Amino acid sequence: MKLKGKVALITGSGSGFGRATAVLFAKEGAKVVVVDKNQDAAGETVDIIKRGGGEAISVKADVTNANDCEAMIKAAVDAFGKLDILHNNAGIAQVITPLADIDEQTWDRLLNVNLKSVFLCSKAAIPVLKKQGGVIINTSSIGAVRARPGAGAYAVAKAGVTHLTRILAIELAPLKIRVNSISPVYSETPLGMDLLPDHMKKDMEATRKAFLSTIPIGRMAVPEDIANAALFLAMDDSSMITGIDLPVDGGRGI
């Protein structure tokens, strides 16, 4: 087991990438704190983990709220005594819209949930992580590197995440905390579906074709791809890796 004895907190793990990662981490021996703004969804992930013989608790939190972020870290320590791995994975999608048509509230919300949350959660976790050293993994997006039309605010937030990853890596290296990000390509997760406007949802065959034509490897990402990347970054195999962005994008970033 690759994460035996580790405690991991994963935000947005009530579905999609986060859930797949929580389940994989638990299978590899980690105790998992499943955080989601949707309590029922977090509970379902915990049920899946427990059915597999793993250990986990669910915590409801809004990652844009500093008090919630403090509380989820406290819940992790209360339940499992420490925290080794913080996976800032929670995010929201931008429904494909030209930037000029986005209202200010939508811009603010996309920046808050996707970027400010990484600041707030890391700020809350660092005092605990530094006790024994640890790992921070952020979910960014290949959209931060290669822009598509209609995803401007989301892509800017994720570019912020990729760079915040580098900054935290440098700042936290002396504390033996490694910080890396993962940049997935499009995936049909709940978030992936959220970004599709109605006309694209109605014709999923055409939508898939359009995405696939831009991904050299010829398929979309699935949550297990991201979970496996997160596992590599979480385990001691990657103890010399910090400040990187690992694209899991089938070559889209080229």
The nearer residue to other proteins, 110 or 248, going by C-beta atoms, is 248
Q: Is 209 in the site for other proteins (CB under 8 A)?
A: no
**53 touching other proteins, by CB under 8 A:** no
Give the number of other CB atoms < 10 A from CB of residue 136: 26
CB of 181 to other proteins, least distance (A): 12
Considering beta carbons, is residue 69 or 145 the nearer one to other proteins?
Answer: 145
* 149 is an interface residue for other proteins by CB under 8 A: no
Q: Give yes or no for residue 174 binding other proteins (CB under 8 A).
A: yes
Q: Which of 137, 97, 92 is nearest to 248 (CA)?
A: 137
Q: Which residue has the tokens 């949350």?
A: 117
**Is 186 considered catalytic here?**
no
Half-sphere exposure of 220 (CA within 13 A, CB side): 14
H-helix or E-strand spanning residue 159: helix 152-172
Cβ(119)–Cβ(171) below 8 Å = no
Among 51, 53, 198, 254, binds other proteins (CB under 8 A): 254
Q: Which of these is catalytic: 154, 165, 183, 242?
A: 154
**Under DSSP, is residue 251 helix (H, G, I), strand (E, B) or coil?**
coil
DSSP assigned state of 101: G
Identity of the residue, 68 or 225, whose beta carbon is nearer to other proteins in the bound complex: 225
Min separation Cβ 250 and other proteins, Å: 5
Please tell me whether residue 248 binds other proteins under the rule CB under 8 A. yes
* 3-state secondary structure at position 90: coil
Closest among 181, 177, 66 to 126, alpha carbons compared:
177
Question: According to CB under 8 A, which residues from 211 to 240 bind other proteins?
Answer: 216-219, 221-222, 225, 228-229, 231-232, 237-240
Residue 70: partners with Cβ closer than 8 Å, 6 or more residues away: 124
- Min. distance of Cβ 176 from other proteins in angstroms? 8
Q: Show which residues are catalytic.
A: 154
Binding site for other proteins (CB under 8 A): 166, 169-170, 173-174, 178, 185, 216-219, 221-222, 225, 228-229, 231-232, 237-244, 246-251, 253-254
